[in-house]
Structure 1
Amino acid sequence: MRTNPLVSIVSAAVWLPPDRDSAESAVAEQRVEAKAARDLGHPCLPVAQDVSAPEMAVLAAREALRLGGVAAADTTLLLHAWMHYQGHDLWSPPHYIAHQLGAHNTVPVGIQQICNGGAAALELAAARLSMRSVLSTGTGPRHALVTTADRFTEPGFDRWRSDYGAAYGDAATAVLLRAPADPDDPLLLRALHTVAAPHLEAMHRGTDPFARLPRENSSVVDMRRTKRAYLSEHGAAPFKKVNEEMIQRVVRGALDDAGLAADDPRIRFVLLPRLGRRMLDGAWIPTLRDLVAAPAVRWGSDTGHLGTGDLPAGLHEVLRRPALGPGDIGLLLNAGAGFTWSCAVVEAPAAR
């Protein structure tokens, strides 16, 4: 998807809880295998003790609105993405977030696309803003807020052992978007491209029957178990091949949407998702090395995988560092169960 008119990223925020669970402690207490901890490469993971995921999202959203100088009442769309339990049954977290912010003029929408939820929410928000800007007879800008939040609590989720190649940190993110873009906005969203391989949904289903209730098949979310069942039948080679092909497709698609060549010198980096070190080194980085000239970077080993929040947290890092000079371009990658892959292309506006 190429945004037209251009959608800007006005601000981005990440809210992290103060407590940390160190890999050293997890190994010493036999909560994770020493080799697995080394392969993951995360020295610690943020842990939310007394705050729920939606409450964290409110905190991140308030910061994004403050940084952007935009009132909550001026947002027209709020998309909230999550992958784990939000604290209540049959309840809408995005409506709660809008209520707490005072965003009474917004339309709250929930997004559930597992780890790619934040990227999906950004793409949908940008598409909605672009469409409304084209169709609207008004002259004022439109604002959308994208939030993500997850709290991976025991006993239902084991942040170190529930998955292969990823350890899960508690966090919330928020990104404020605007269309049409303002000349003073720090980033332009040039494109956001997504591809999928739906047949891989079975990796997170395995051989389990459809349950009647949550946790009926397993008392703990155990993606290792379902993946073992899938791989025992299909082997690892087909998934590896599809993953490499989809990384290539999504990057090429994003570059094409943005009208860029893979060797464009303005592209300064390709930001990786916050997955384990071994997974990135073994699959993602070699694939990207033959695809784009810009280096692959990982900013976030100190948080672990943030569920739906990796790509929005990456936008926060791009703005915080700052990583781009005037006219420079960055690519941000993400992936999630299903499987789905997304690539965002952002640009720092040229100096006026």
Structure 2
Amino acid sequence: LRELMELSPDEATVRREGEELAVPADEVAVGETVIVRPGEKVPLDGRVVEGESAVDQSPITGESVPVDKTSGDDVFAGSIAAEGYLEIEVTSTAGDSTLARIIEMVQGAQAKRTETERFVDRFAGYYTPVVVVLAIATATLPPLLISDPVTVEVAGYGFAFVGDWGTWFVRGLTLLVIACPCAFVISTPVSVVSGITSAAKNGVLIKGGNHLEAMGDVDVVAFDKTGTLTRGELAVTDVIPADGTDEATLLRYAAAVERRSEHPIAAAVLAHADAAAAGADTGASEGSTPGEGPEPTEFESLTGRGVRAVVDGETYYAGKPALFEDLGFDLARPATDGGKTA
């Protein structure tokens, strides 16, 4: 729960009477305007009133790709402004944010007792008193009943017993420690709590331990997800050069353009270009290896659309299809089926 609560910042930059003030997030009222700069976390749920930014919502929604936010879009506390400046009108207080409700649901789920926990509690209610009585009897009865040493033979083996108080007191304590159901009673609730919390940190909300316990009887899981089921790790799957361009040249310049971008898609493009360069053995001329593109002399991040860079004296763009449509290019989209993004 502590790790979940740390997703939301303690302070927010609020505009009050024309000044930007850093105040505790729980003191910000609904309707006030908070400022979020690139790389900062959104402190409270709200609606964008000015600015554009790609927002990393993965801590809240699990989406692997930052979502473009502009005026009128809603944002969640705990999400991160990857790039761009945002002014956000607060729509809910810190205690009523989406993240706060998630934490409340996790707390409620942890408080719900499973059938196994209830059985363990009932069992411990009978078992523990029996163990305590046996331990007391072990520590006290032999010294009271055995005045002289007694030898007992079992299966040909002899066992000697003496009525020494110190010896039997230690044996009583030993029985109590070994037979005490502490680990048995504690293990079940601890397992449930850790399972629910671990799932919540990975974007899965489990409403109670009984639902988690029921998963133990599941044989088949059916996922209902439009298009594809992914691991949330972006990777280049297809490279489709336009007419007159080969794949090596395309990757070379794509890597050069994306080299200064912090977007996850840029990281995937660079990784693919580096892998292609490492495995390239096609007889390409020196200087045209895919992953060895030149450094751009100019770079600009086009928030919510893509990036622009000057490489080898020419301007190159990388971004969404809408960016190229605005630039006057008619891009075919042959590879966008099956959940892929072009």
TM-score range, shorter chain: under 0.3
Greater relative CO, 1 or 2 (CA 8 Å, sep 6+): 1
Higher helix share: 2
* Structure ID, larger Rg: 2
